[in-house]
Amino acid sequence: MDKENDMDNNGKPNIPERFLKPYDPATTEDRVYEMWEKSGYFNPDKLPERNGKGGPFSMVLPPPNVTGQLHLGSALMLAIEDIMARYARMKGKKTLWIPGTDHAAIATQAVVEKEIQKKEGKSRHDLGRDELLRRIDAHVKTTHDVIVSQIRKLGCSIDWSREAFTLDDKRNLAVRTAFKRMYDDGLIYRGFRVVNWDPKGQTTISDDEIEYETRKAKLYTFKYGKDAKTGELIPIAISTTRPETKLGDTAIAVNPDDARYKPFISREFDAVFAGEPIHLKIVADPSVEPGFGTGALGVTPAHSMIDWEMAQRHGLPLKQVIGEYARMTAGFDEHSAPAPAFVVKGKKVAEAREAVVAWLKAEGLLEKEEEIEHNIALAQRTGGVIEPLPKLQWFVAVNKEFDHNGQKTTLKKLMKEAVSSGAVKIIPERFEKVYFNWIDNLRDWCISRQIWYGHRIPVWYREGEAPENIFIGIDAPEGDGWMQDDDTLDTWFSSGLWTFSTLGWPDEKEFKANKEYHPTTMLETGWDILFFWVARMILMSEYLLGEAPFKTVYLHGLVRDTKNRKISKSLGNNIDPLDMIVKYGADAVRMSLVVGVGPGNDSKIDEAKIKAYKLFANKLWNIGRFVFENTGDGEDLRSAIFDLRPKSSMDSEFTKKDKEYADRLDELMAEITGEMDEYKFYIVAEKLYHYAWHELADVILEESKGIFRDGSEIEKKSRRRLLLYIFDKLLRALHPFMPYITEEIYRALTSGQKMLMVEEWVA
């Protein structure tokens, strides 16, 4: 920006031409962001000396999924993180904020496959692996560019020179290195267990990738039928919402202290259930609640994780009766069924359920049928109804002991100790209890996925050799005949390495050069991925580096509409942040998302709220015009104020009243500095809004009009200094929240000689 003179040729205040018009974010924001980028100050290595003397501040961007554009929840995350980064930089910290995007394997492949099916009527198998991956890469390039553009539009002061992608070559090396180390320590194994199977996506998913939807369902109470040996009814009734799975039952479980069933414990029965022979053993298990339902449970080890674990305790066999496409593989078929309504085999599970119930009624076995509300497990990315199925998969063993820095421990213990020791602080604190509860109930982590997009599992097999003759390495094996495992790794495995893979790990030289930034100072993310991501980053960093990945976790809430509904495209209440930026400016969008929203709390947003903060931006602009009009009096007052800090150097220049105003401002700045240090950004933003509008504009500026009209020269001179003193501090304090307009006004006030982004904080 060119230096601008304070006076025109007639000796009147020279107001920059743009201040004669209303503030226009559309003509300001792109220009200001380009100036920031050209300065190089987003890179901590290029900051002015003062901004690196306060020690390091580091943070990674939770990488947005490359499935589409960012939403208002993403905008909230970016606004909070940029506030943190800009505040740290102004406090003299060597500030590093690392950007990146996440390949989000299941979601991204699902989006592309759906588009191909819609336009071409083809499946991934029609295209083949290489062609599908080529199409996905093209999609990712497009969405990546949109996401990066959105991050820039929001004003994020992020170090683009370090941008990463969870599926790029450096991250792939990190993934393969981590996999091999964990395998060598016995923490990764291939096993046959019941997993969450998504019939729609045709892949396993983790417990954390399930969403639950409450639906109406029928609870059926019935007996299995007659015992083949005695011809009498099996005496124990059970209740279930899924009678079709009972074709795979291998036991009935009762509480060992339940007097009703003690005589039957250890007895065995044989029956034919809906055309399928079953063998049932009565087992006593303390996990069964006597007061729930009939007090007895049908145990289906192949189609329930809880039943699988019970089967392991009692040595029960496993019998699979549902296939990968959620169709029955057992029961009456069209040739054996006494009536067409009883056909089970080959039907989808919902249809099979009706057939089994029809058979129960016909046999007089159904005792009760009642309507209830029931939680249905859905795959988060595809919406498919989850079927627990037994599969051969790769797992991370979270309960297995191993040697770690000379001590015996488990991954679960490492995850708990990082938080319980205080190495990681979670804000708000109430989420620590949630975190510990999740870890206490954590099962071995299934990390293999039956999709093509993602980090391919670094395991190779030789054709015709035993399954245990495998090669696991960072690089592919030499020689012919090796075939790599078709499966890919869970996305969270690679993103779990994010804090240190973005700093160069496993390259020791590069990571050592960046070691001052790890553990990172802060991780800011949504509370809804505390388990998906935060916990797994702690697991990976503690295991691979022996230290926590970050010192503090700040959890923000979900953004909802005024009816308290989660904002989503399906509900038609989605507000595109880019649309709002075009209409009202990025500063207004940022303030509307932050004001009044504490950590961990969900917030409500609508366009009216965003528009209100556009009015606030206009108010700041008008204050700036007033300051210009009344401080260009021939003295270089602005230079004096902006160069001669602190206030003590100017106390003698203030009238008594103006000194009181200045002291009040100093008190406020001390308050908000303490609140900024405690991450109470929602309070600070509101206080600054009220001070600017209701104290500075409504009181001090209105009073100033009379002073400049009728006051003495001493009063006028004091008031000019006061306005500059107040406005200087206000702009610096507001900068982390509203970076564009504050930078634009500040550059004008300092005749283009200073950049607010690297100016000193107010206290």
Q: Distance of alpha carbon 419 from its chain centroid, rounded?
A: 19
* pLDDT at 376 exceeding the cut of 90: yes
Instruction: Indicate the helix (H) or strand (E) that contains 553.
Output: strand 550-556
Continuous segment of H or E residues that includes residue 560: strand 559-560
Q: Which CATH superfamily is domain 205-388 in?
A: Valyl/Leucyl/Isoleucyl-tRNA synthetase, editing domain (3.90.740.10)
Higher pLDDT, 125 or 532: 125
The yes-or-no verdict on residue 361 having pLDDT over 80 is yes
**pLDDT per position as a tens digit, 227-268:** 999 999 999 999 999 999 999 999 999 999 999 999 999 999
The tens digit of pLDDT for each residue in 97-133 reads: 999 999 999 889 989 999 999 999 999 999 999 999 9
Do the domains spanning 17-21+597-758 and 40-187+397-556 agree at the CATH topology level? no
Query: pLDDT tens across 628-650, in order?
Result: 888 864 345 566 556 545 555 55
Q: Mapped to the 3 state alphabet, what secondary structure does 18-34 carry?
A: HHHCCCCHHHHHHHHHH
Rg of the Cα atoms in the chain: 32
CA–CA dist 280, 420 (Å, integer): 45
What gap in Å lies between CA 635 and CA 282, rounded to an integer? 96
pLDDT digits (tens, 9 = 90+) for 380-397: 878 899 999 999 999 999
Residue 540 has which token pair? 């990976």
Tell me the two tokens of residue 404. Answer: 């770690």
Distances in Å between the Cα of 114 and the Cα atoms of 136, 382, 398 are 12, 10, 35
Q: Where are the domains of the chain?
A: 17-21+597-758, 40-187+397-556, 205-388
Q: 40-187+397-556: which CATH topology?
A: Rossmann fold (3.40.50)
DSSP result, 331-370 = S--TTT-SSGGG--TTSBHHHHHHHHHHHHHHHT-EEEEE
Q: Which residues of 411-422 are buried (b: 16+ CB within 10 A; e: fewer)?
A: bbbbbbebbeee
Pairing of strands 210-223, 237-240: antiparallel
CATH 1.10.730.10 fits 17-21+597-758, yes or no: yes
Kindly give the pairing relationship between strand 603-604 and strand 559-560.
parallel
* Calpha distance 417→537 (Å, rounded): 14
Residues 6+ apart with CB under 8 A from 168: none
The more confidently predicted of residues 74 and 565 is: 74
For residue 98, what are the CA distances in angstroms to 63, 160, 167, 674, 735? 10, 7, 16, 26, 20
Count of C-beta atoms within a 10 Å radius of residue 512: 12
> Which contacts of 207-211 are long-range, i.e. CB under 8 A and separated by 24 or more positions?
207/443, 208/492, 208/531, 208/532, 209/106, 209/379, 209/380, 209/381, 209/532, 210/377, 210/378, 210/379, 210/380, 210/386, 211/377, 211/378, 211/379, 211/380
Q: What does pLDDT average to over the chain? A: 91
The answer to whether the CB of 452 falls within 8 A of the CB of 127 is: no
Range with lowest mean pLDDT among 321-325, 524-528, 733-737? 524-528
Per-residue pLDDT band for 11 (boundaries 50, 70, 90) equals very low
Closest to 470 measured CA to CA, from 571, 394, 527, 530 = 394
pLDDT digits (tens, 9 = 90+) for 152-194: 999 999 999 999 999 999 999 999 999 999 999 999 999 999 9
Question: Which is higher by pLDDT, 597 or 82?
Answer: 82
398 in Cβ contact with 412 (< 8 Å): yes
**pTM for this one?**
0.89
Closest CA to 628 of 2, 24, 4: 4
> pLDDT class for 12, splitting at 50, 70, 90?
very low
